Amino acid sequence: MTTQKPTRLNASDPSIMYSPPNAWNAGHNNSMTTSQPGATAQLNFSGSFIEVYGIFPKNVASTPVSHYTLDNETPLIFTTPIGNESDSHSPFVFYEANPANGSHSLLITLESGEQLALSSIVFASSSESTTGPPPVIPTAPTSPSSSSVSTKANIGGIVGGIVSAIFVLAALAAVYVVCRRRKRRSTQHKAVTPFDIKPRGSTLSPPVPTYTSSEKEPLPEVPGPSTNSVRGSMYKPKPDSNGLPPMEYGYGKGV
Protein backbone atom coordinates (compact mmCIF):
# COMPACT_ATOMS: atom_id res chain seq x y z
CA MET A 1 0.00 0.00 0.00
CA THR A 2 1.36 3.37 -1.02
CA THR A 3 1.88 5.87 1.77
CA GLN A 4 0.73 9.33 0.84
CA LYS A 5 1.91 12.60 2.31
CA PRO A 6 -0.66 14.29 4.62
CA THR A 7 -2.08 17.66 3.75
CA ARG A 8 -0.85 20.62 5.78
CA LEU A 9 -2.58 23.97 5.54
CA ASN A 10 -1.30 27.20 7.04
CA ALA A 11 -3.87 29.12 9.03
CA SER A 12 -3.88 31.79 6.31
CA ASP A 13 -4.83 29.25 3.58
CA PRO A 14 -7.97 30.32 1.71
CA SER A 15 -9.46 26.82 2.18
CA ILE A 16 -10.14 27.82 5.78
CA MET A 17 -13.23 30.03 6.00
CA TYR A 18 -13.09 32.75 8.69
CA SER A 19 -16.19 34.55 9.95
CA PRO A 20 -16.54 37.43 10.30
CA PRO A 21 -13.49 38.19 8.15
CA ASN A 22 -12.70 41.49 9.87
CA ALA A 23 -12.50 39.73 13.24
CA TRP A 24 -9.36 37.78 12.21
CA ASN A 25 -5.88 39.24 11.74
CA ALA A 26 -2.79 37.80 10.09
CA GLY A 27 -0.01 37.01 12.56
CA HIS A 28 3.53 35.62 12.68
CA ASN A 29 4.37 32.76 10.21
CA ASN A 30 1.01 32.85 8.41
CA SER A 31 -0.97 32.46 11.65
CA MET A 32 -4.44 33.94 12.19
CA THR A 33 -5.53 35.52 15.46
CA THR A 34 -8.78 36.84 16.91
CA SER A 35 -10.05 38.24 20.21
CA GLN A 36 -13.70 38.56 19.27
CA PRO A 37 -16.00 36.06 21.06
CA GLY A 38 -18.09 34.15 18.55
CA ALA A 39 -15.55 34.37 15.73
CA THR A 40 -15.27 31.08 13.79
CA ALA A 41 -12.90 29.21 11.46
CA GLN A 42 -14.27 26.31 9.35
CA LEU A 43 -12.53 23.66 7.23
CA ASN A 44 -14.13 20.96 5.07
CA PHE A 45 -11.75 18.03 4.51
CA SER A 46 -11.66 14.38 3.52
CA GLY A 47 -9.76 11.87 5.65
CA SER A 48 -9.67 10.00 8.93
CA PHE A 49 -7.27 12.16 10.91
CA ILE A 50 -7.02 15.89 11.73
CA GLU A 51 -4.88 18.09 13.96
CA VAL A 52 -5.15 21.81 14.74
CA TYR A 53 -1.96 23.64 15.75
CA GLY A 54 -1.94 26.96 17.59
CA ILE A 55 0.30 29.41 19.47
CA PHE A 56 0.14 30.23 23.16
CA PRO A 57 -0.75 33.91 23.76
CA LYS A 58 1.37 36.31 25.82
CA ASN A 59 0.52 39.30 28.00
CA VAL A 60 -3.23 38.79 27.93
CA ALA A 61 -5.73 39.51 30.70
CA SER A 62 -7.78 36.36 30.07
CA THR A 63 -6.80 33.14 28.30
CA PRO A 64 -8.81 32.17 25.20
CA VAL A 65 -11.37 29.36 25.48
CA SER A 66 -12.25 27.75 22.13
CA HIS A 67 -14.72 25.09 20.91
CA TYR A 68 -13.90 22.42 18.27
CA THR A 69 -16.97 20.82 16.67
CA LEU A 70 -16.53 17.93 14.22
CA ASP A 71 -19.57 17.05 12.05
CA ASN A 72 -22.07 18.61 14.46
CA GLU A 73 -20.94 16.32 17.27
CA THR A 74 -20.47 17.40 20.88
CA PRO A 75 -17.85 20.19 20.84
CA LEU A 76 -14.51 19.77 22.57
CA ILE A 77 -13.51 22.72 24.79
CA PHE A 78 -9.88 23.81 25.05
CA THR A 79 -8.45 26.55 27.27
CA THR A 80 -5.17 27.88 25.89
CA PRO A 81 -2.48 28.44 28.56
CA ILE A 82 -0.35 31.58 28.72
CA GLY A 83 2.93 31.28 26.81
CA ASN A 84 6.41 32.52 27.66
CA GLU A 85 9.31 33.86 25.59
CA SER A 86 10.68 30.44 24.68
CA ASP A 87 7.44 29.05 23.20
CA SER A 88 5.74 32.22 22.03
CA HIS A 89 5.97 31.17 18.34
CA SER A 90 6.10 27.39 18.74
CA PRO A 91 2.99 25.53 17.53
CA PHE A 92 1.16 23.25 19.95
CA VAL A 93 -1.68 20.84 19.32
CA PHE A 94 -4.98 22.47 20.29
CA TYR A 95 -7.21 19.71 18.89
CA GLU A 96 -6.96 16.28 17.24
CA ALA A 97 -9.49 13.62 16.18
CA ASN A 98 -9.66 10.31 14.30
CA PRO A 99 -13.03 10.16 12.56
CA ALA A 100 -14.07 7.48 10.07
CA ASN A 101 -12.48 7.87 6.67
CA GLY A 102 -14.65 10.20 4.60
CA SER A 103 -15.74 13.79 4.20
CA HIS A 104 -15.91 15.88 7.36
CA SER A 105 -16.29 19.46 8.53
CA LEU A 106 -14.48 21.08 11.47
CA LEU A 107 -15.75 24.32 13.08
CA ILE A 108 -13.51 26.31 15.46
CA THR A 109 -15.23 28.95 17.66
CA LEU A 110 -13.74 31.39 20.16
CA GLU A 111 -15.96 31.36 23.25
CA SER A 112 -14.14 33.89 25.44
CA GLY A 113 -10.72 35.32 26.21
CA GLU A 114 -8.10 37.13 24.18
CA GLN A 115 -5.84 36.27 21.23
CA LEU A 116 -6.78 32.86 19.89
CA ALA A 117 -3.89 32.19 17.46
CA LEU A 118 -4.19 29.35 14.89
CA SER A 119 -0.96 28.20 13.24
CA SER A 120 -1.88 25.33 10.86
CA ILE A 121 -4.23 22.39 10.27
CA VAL A 122 -3.06 18.91 9.22
CA PHE A 123 -5.41 16.15 7.95
CA ALA A 124 -4.89 12.77 6.30
CA SER A 125 -6.72 9.65 5.11
CA SER A 126 -6.34 6.19 6.61
CA SER A 127 -3.58 5.30 4.10
CA GLU A 128 -1.55 8.43 4.90
CA SER A 129 0.86 9.20 7.71
CA THR A 130 1.76 12.53 9.22
CA THR A 131 5.25 13.91 8.70
CA GLY A 132 4.83 17.18 10.52
CA PRO A 133 6.14 18.03 13.96
CA PRO A 134 5.18 15.55 16.66
CA PRO A 135 2.05 16.49 18.53
CA VAL A 136 2.77 18.32 21.75
CA ILE A 137 -0.24 18.24 24.05
CA PRO A 138 0.10 21.15 26.49
CA THR A 139 -0.98 20.71 30.05
CA ALA A 140 -3.73 23.28 29.78
CA PRO A 141 -6.23 23.96 32.52
CA THR A 142 -9.73 22.76 31.82
CA SER A 143 -12.32 25.26 30.68
CA PRO A 144 -15.04 26.51 33.02
CA SER A 145 -17.74 24.54 31.25
CA SER A 146 -15.83 21.25 31.19
CA SER A 147 -14.73 21.64 34.80
CA SER A 148 -18.31 22.39 35.83
CA VAL A 149 -19.48 19.18 34.15
CA SER A 150 -16.84 17.09 35.93
CA THR A 151 -17.59 18.87 39.20
CA LYS A 152 -21.29 18.07 38.87
CA ALA A 153 -20.43 14.43 38.15
CA ASN A 154 -18.17 14.26 41.21
CA ILE A 155 -20.82 15.91 43.41
CA GLY A 156 -23.43 13.45 42.12
CA GLY A 157 -21.19 10.50 42.98
CA ILE A 158 -20.44 11.88 46.46
CA VAL A 159 -24.13 12.53 47.18
CA GLY A 160 -25.04 9.04 45.99
CA GLY A 161 -22.40 7.52 48.26
CA ILE A 162 -23.61 9.53 51.26
CA VAL A 163 -27.25 8.52 50.67
CA SER A 164 -26.24 4.85 50.38
CA ALA A 165 -24.22 5.08 53.61
CA ILE A 166 -27.15 6.71 55.45
CA PHE A 167 -29.50 3.97 54.22
CA VAL A 168 -27.13 1.22 55.43
CA LEU A 169 -26.71 2.89 58.84
CA ALA A 170 -30.48 3.26 59.23
CA ALA A 171 -30.98 -0.43 58.41
CA LEU A 172 -28.31 -1.46 60.94
CA ALA A 173 -29.88 0.77 63.60
CA ALA A 174 -33.32 -0.78 62.99
CA VAL A 175 -31.91 -4.31 63.30
CA TYR A 176 -30.11 -3.32 66.51
CA VAL A 177 -33.30 -1.88 68.08
CA VAL A 178 -35.35 -4.98 67.20
CA CYS A 179 -32.72 -7.35 68.63
CA ARG A 180 -32.42 -5.28 71.80
CA ARG A 181 -36.19 -5.32 72.36
CA ARG A 182 -36.35 -9.08 71.90
CA LYS A 183 -33.50 -9.59 74.31
CA ARG A 184 -35.16 -7.30 76.89
CA ARG A 185 -38.45 -9.23 76.63
CA SER A 186 -36.75 -12.60 77.07
CA THR A 187 -34.85 -11.26 80.11
CA GLN A 188 -38.08 -10.01 81.71
CA HIS A 189 -39.78 -13.41 81.27
CA LYS A 190 -36.85 -15.19 82.87
CA ALA A 191 -36.73 -12.80 85.85
CA VAL A 192 -40.33 -13.57 87.03
CA THR A 193 -40.26 -15.43 90.40
CA PRO A 194 -43.12 -17.98 90.80
CA PHE A 195 -45.14 -17.86 94.02
CA ASP A 196 -47.90 -20.02 95.60
CA ILE A 197 -51.38 -18.66 96.09
CA LYS A 198 -53.52 -20.14 98.92
CA PRO A 199 -56.94 -21.24 97.72
CA ARG A 200 -59.82 -19.10 98.87
CA GLY A 201 -61.76 -20.27 101.93
CA SER A 202 -58.91 -22.35 103.34
CA THR A 203 -58.26 -22.12 107.10
CA LEU A 204 -54.86 -22.16 108.60
CA SER A 205 -54.31 -24.59 111.49
CA PRO A 206 -52.99 -22.99 114.66
CA PRO A 207 -49.50 -23.90 115.48
CA VAL A 208 -49.12 -26.83 117.87
CA PRO A 209 -47.07 -25.86 120.90
CA THR A 210 -44.10 -28.00 121.72
CA TYR A 211 -42.71 -28.58 125.20
CA THR A 212 -39.42 -29.71 126.52
CA SER A 213 -38.94 -32.66 128.87
CA SER A 214 -38.68 -30.37 131.90
CA GLU A 215 -41.97 -28.69 131.20
CA LYS A 216 -45.42 -30.10 131.75
CA GLU A 217 -48.39 -29.57 129.66
CA PRO A 218 -50.78 -27.25 131.50
CA LEU A 219 -54.08 -28.69 132.44
CA PRO A 220 -57.16 -27.20 130.92
CA GLU A 221 -59.20 -25.02 133.16
CA VAL A 222 -62.51 -26.56 134.28
CA PRO A 223 -65.19 -24.16 135.32
CA GLY A 224 -66.43 -24.76 138.89
CA PRO A 225 -69.84 -24.30 140.39
CA SER A 226 -71.10 -20.87 140.29
CA THR A 227 -70.92 -19.11 143.62
CA ASN A 228 -73.45 -16.62 142.59
CA SER A 229 -76.68 -17.05 144.58
CA VAL A 230 -80.03 -16.35 143.23
CA ARG A 231 -80.96 -13.03 144.48
CA GLY A 232 -84.55 -12.21 145.26
CA SER A 233 -85.64 -15.90 145.51
CA MET A 234 -88.15 -16.70 148.32
CA TYR A 235 -87.44 -20.41 148.21
CA LYS A 236 -85.44 -21.87 151.07
CA PRO A 237 -84.70 -25.62 151.22
CA LYS A 238 -85.84 -27.54 154.27
CA PRO A 239 -83.34 -29.68 156.14
CA ASP A 240 -83.97 -33.44 156.24
CA SER A 241 -84.69 -35.17 159.43
CA ASN A 242 -81.49 -37.14 159.17
CA GLY A 243 -79.37 -34.07 158.72
CA LEU A 244 -78.96 -34.70 155.05
CA PRO A 245 -79.60 -32.23 152.38
CA PRO A 246 -83.11 -32.17 151.02
CA MET A 247 -84.12 -34.30 148.13
CA GLU A 248 -84.07 -31.36 145.78
CA TYR A 249 -80.25 -31.62 145.65
CA GLY A 250 -80.37 -35.19 144.42
CA TYR A 251 -79.36 -37.04 147.59
CA GLY A 252 -81.24 -39.93 149.16
CA LYS A 253 -82.95 -41.04 145.99
CA GLY A 254 -83.43 -44.67 145.87
CA VAL A 255 -82.31 -45.29 149.47
Query: Tell me, what's the pLDDT at 160?
Result: 77
Is 85 or 8 the better-scoring residue by pLDDT? 8
Checking if the pLDDT of 136 tops 80, the result is no
Q: Tell if the pTM clears 0.75, that is, is over it.
A: no
Query: Tell me, what's the pLDDT at 135?
Result: 46
Fold of the CATH domain 7-139: Jelly Rolls (2.60.120)
Q: What is the pLDDT of residues 162-177, one digit of tens each?
A: 888 898 888 888 888 8
Q: What is the pLDDT of residues 186-227, one digit of tens each?
A: 666 555 555 555 555 555 555 556 655 555 555 555 555 555
Q: Considering only CA atoms, which of 147, 141, 137 is closest in space to residue 52?
A: 137
Q: Tell me how long the chain is.
A: 255
Q: How would residue 116 be classed by pLDDT, with cut points 50, 70 and 90?
A: very high
Name the H helices within the chain.
Answer: 144-190
Contact 108, 118 (CB under 8 A): yes
